[in-house]
Structure formats: structure tokens, C-alpha cells
Amino acid sequence: MTSALRRLRHLAAPLLVATAATALAAQDPKPCKLVLEGTPLGGVDSTRIQYYNLANGSRITYVGGGVDARCEGQGNRLLADSAEHYESRGELILINRVRYSDPRVSMQSSRMVYYTIEERIHATGNVRGRMTSGTRFTGPEMEYWRAKPGLRDVPRWRAPGRPFVRMAPDSVRNRTVNDSTDLTADLVLSDNDSLITARGQVVIERTDLRATADSATMDRPKEQARLMRGPRIVGQGQRSFTLVGRVVDIWSRAQKLERVLAADSAHATSDSLDLRGDSIDLRMAEQRIQRAYIWGSRAYANGPKQWMEADSLDVHLPNQQIREVRAFGRAITRSAVDSTKVVSDEPDWIAGESIVALFDSLAPGDSATARMRQVTATGDARSYYQLAPSSGERGVPNINYNRGREIVVSFIKGEVDVVQVRDQASGLYLEPPVAPKTKPDSTVRRP
């Protein structure tokens, strides 16, 4: 043993040489008994030590040429090129190629300060780290608070300066990005690597979604997240969708999206559907919308050729293809007329206290717009449909208007086929007048 290392060991007395660290030892409630040792750099013992005894009985220690530090029996370790230890204030400063590890986390940085009384570590300069849960992070700065009985029950960390955080289960942390949730924000905070808070230009990315907001909270064990202040969710499946609102909640299972709820001024769009309402609740499977609930002061579900609104809507979308819409409370559905047969700027419509609309099934992968097959209005029902002229030529439509307790309209290839009115039935059918054909004026000379 070189004289420098012997002096360093003597310096550490009455501190004892630490034994092998274990997770159980990391729970030691006693204050940190710091042990400082030299460590060879490049296989050469170059450790240099200087220490000063102060009038108050404490000591300042300077170590260069390689240092190895730990709290006796607590399972942590710090390595660096050089260090300064201020015993009276419990502060260990480590400089250049700093590495820290304990049973829960490992990290490295250019500089690190370990506050032994607070059990807090402040790392700066190209900080990189990994939690045993599988979380990895990179950034310019990080503060880490160790768990310790009598001080705090779980570890916490704080990372400002827009860090990048990759969260994945420990069992898959060495796999591809497909297993992970990536988080970027101006500031990220974590309790026990379970409850995550992100603030400032938050971006969350997974294989099934990309979410942005100004702030977010995440509960990793429950696979739940809440986004606030301008949240926006974009589904990344074969048939993508976008959802916005004042607040958006996300539920997942096994890293797959199951439910998304947007509250206050909610708006969801996909390739063939536009949903609006105070709140929108999307139920997902296989990265596609399967069902949508819309409610609030007024709810809207609009397609390229049909538009529905009511106090609330229940939209069935197996594999994100519309099959059925149920509308409740002052319900009305409007449809565009066939402009190749009818000359009109008005839509067809049917209204009632409730409406059930059924749509033709489409072949898997067919992106064509689903056509209405049948629509039933119940409760003070009214309907207004414009039919092609009897002449068969494009022109002003015939009008079919009906009222009753219930109206059922059936369609064939998107065109009205049968209108059935049940109970308290009334209505009218109008055909536009046909202009009489005029004979040529015989008095007019023709060239």
C-alpha cells in the first residue's frame, strides 16, 4: 500500500473501511459515515491528498488523482478524478468523470455534489443515468434524493434543462424503443420512479401515440397519464386519429392504448369522422377506435356526407369503421343530397328525441365512406327527404315530409327506399310544377 493511500485511510479514521454494499444496508437509518479511498487511474496509483483540521474540530479534505467514496454500510459508491470534502457541512464535491451508484440508481456526470446530511445528490454536466426499474435519462442537470428511514420513504429526482427520459420495464430495458415510453420536457420530476410530473413543452412518444401538452402527470404502475394546458393526442395506428381538449386522460395496458378521455372543448378527428363535444371518451383496441362517447351541452358526429348532433352520442366504430350511432336528446341527422340527380342546396334530415342510425359494413381495409342503411327517429319524430324528379332527369327534387311518434327510413345504396311512419302519422308529398311545353310562334320568321 502506498503512503498516499495509507494517509487517506488514516484520514478517514475514525471512519471505518466500508464492507460490500447490499440493498438491505442501503436502508441503514444512521447518518452517512463517509469513507474515502484512493483509486488508481490507468493502473497507476496517483492519489494525492491534502487535509486541514479546523478550529471547530472538523476537517476539510482535498483528494486528487482518483478517489473512491462511499457511506459505510449503505450500498452507495462515488468515483471521480478528484474530490473535496467539507466535513462540518456534510458536503462532498466530486469533479471530472464522476460516477455514482446505489441499489436503485446509477449515474455519471462531469461534476457532482453529495450532501450527506440531506442525502441529496446534485449532478451537472452531461448527466446520464439509469434506474433499476428500467428508466434511463440524459440531460444537463439532475438532483437525486435518496430514500432513507427517518428522512424519506422513497427516492425522488428532479431534472431541469429539458432532459430526455426513456421509461421501460426492467425486463425489457435492453430491447428496442418499441417497448418504451419516451418523455421530453423542460422539467421532469419523479417520486419513486412511479409518479412522474413533466412541465413545459411536454412530448410523450410511444409506438401507439404521440402526445403533447404544457404539463403532464404519469402513474407508471397504473399506466395512466393526464395532460393539461393545450393537450393533443395523435394515435399512431394504421388509421390515425387526433384528440384535443382542455384536459386529456390516458389509460393503457401493456403499453397499448385502451382509453382516451378529453374534457372541455373536446375535438377528435380521423380519416372519415369528426367528433365534437364538451367531453369525448374514446375506447381503443389494436391502435384503433372501437367506440366513442360524446356528451356535454351539445355533441356532434360528422362524416363526409352525414352530420349528427344531439345532447349525447354513442358511436360504434369496430376497427375504426362506423357501424352504428345512437343519439339521445334533441337528436337530428342531416345528409347531403345526390347532386347528380337533385338540384338543391338543402340537406335531407330526420329528427326526434332519439335516433339510431345503422351503416353498411365495409370490407376490411376499405377506406370508402360508409353509407347509411337505416335510420330510426323516436319521440316527436320528423323527417324531410328530397327525392329525384319523376322524369328521371336531374332537377328540382320531390319533397317527402313526415311527422309521427316514430319514423323509420330505409336506404338502398345510400338512396331513400322506404319511409315508415308509426303512430300519430301525418305528412305531405310535393312535386314541383311542370312547366308546360310551348309551341313555336308561327308568326316569327326563321332564317
CB atoms near residue 350 (< 10 Å) = 25
Average pLDDT over residues 408-418: 90
Work out the mean pLDDT of the chain and round it to a whole number.
86
CA distance 121 to 94: 11
Selection from 317, 347, 342 nearest residue 332 by Cα: 347
CA angle 344, 346, 352 (to 5 degrees): 140
Per the CB < 8 A criterion, the answer to whether 114 and 89 are in contact is: no
- Contacts of range 229-232, beta carbons closer than 8 Å, 24 or more positions apart: 231/262
Q: What is the pLDDT of residue 40?
A: 66
Q: How far is CA 132 from the centre of its chain?
A: 24
CA distance 99 to 203: 29
Per the CB < 8 A criterion, the answer to whether 48 and 38 are in contact is: no
How do residues 68-103 score in pLDDT, each as one tens digit?
999 998 899 999 999 999 999 999 999 999 999 999
Average pLDDT over residues 172-181: 59
Q: Which one has a higher pLDDT value, 445 or 207?
A: 207
CA end-to-end distance (rounded Å), the chain = 128
Q: How far is CA 417 from CA 359, 387, 410, 413, in A?
A: 15, 10, 6, 9
Q: Which residues contact 34 (CB under 8 A, 6 or more apart)?
A: 12, 15, 69, 70, 71, 72, 85, 92, 116
C-alpha cell of 356? 339510431
How do residues 312-358 score in pLDDT, each as one tens digit?
999 999 988 889 999 999 999 999 998 888 999 999 999 999 999 99
Band of residue 188 on the pLDDT scale cut at 50, 70, 90: very high
C-alpha cell of 428? 305531405
Per the CB < 8 A criterion, the answer to whether 358 and 345 are in contact is: no
Per this entry, what is the length of the chain? 447
pLDDT of residue 244 exceeding 90, the answer is: yes
CB atoms near residue 428 (< 10 Å) = 9
How do residues 290-313 score in pLDDT, each as one tens digit?
999 999 989 999 988 899 999 999
CA distance 116 to 203: 34
pLDDT of residue 368 exceeding 60, the answer is: no
How do residues 112-155 score in pLDDT, each as one tens digit?
999 999 999 999 999 999 998 889 999 999 999 998 888 899 99
pLDDT of residue 109 exceeding 80, the answer is: yes
Selection from 382, 212, 357 nearest residue 273 by Cα: 357
List the domain boundaries for the chain.
1-103
Percent of the chain with pLDDT over 70: 85
Band of residue 20 on the pLDDT scale cut at 50, 70, 90: very low
Return the CA Rg of the chain: 36
Selection from 192, 182, 187 nearest residue 146 by Cα: 192
Per the CB < 8 A criterion, the answer to whether 163 and 189 are in contact is: no
CA distance 313 to 354: 10
pLDDT of residue 43 exceeding 70, the answer is: no
C-alpha cell of 247? 384536459
pLDDT of residue 22 exceeding 50, the answer is: no
Report the DSSP beta bridge partners of residue 60: 52, 86
Q: What is the pLDDT of residue 26?
A: 42
pLDDT of residue 44 exceeding 50, the answer is: yes
Report the DSSP beta bridge partners of residue 61: 51, 85
Strand blocks (E) in 271-414: 274-285, 288-302, 306-316, 324-335, 348-359, 372-387, 398-412
Q: Which one has a higher pLDDT value, 36 or 291?
A: 291
Q: Which one has a higher pLDDT value, 14 or 401?
A: 401
Predicted structure pTM score = 0.82
Helices (H), 223-337: none
Widest CA span of the chain, in angstroms? Answer: 135
Q: Which residues contact 365 (CB under 8 A, 6 or more apart)?
A: none
Q: What is the pLDDT of residue 12?
A: 40
Q: Which one has a higher pLDDT value, 169 or 393?
A: 393
Residue 426 amino acid letter: S
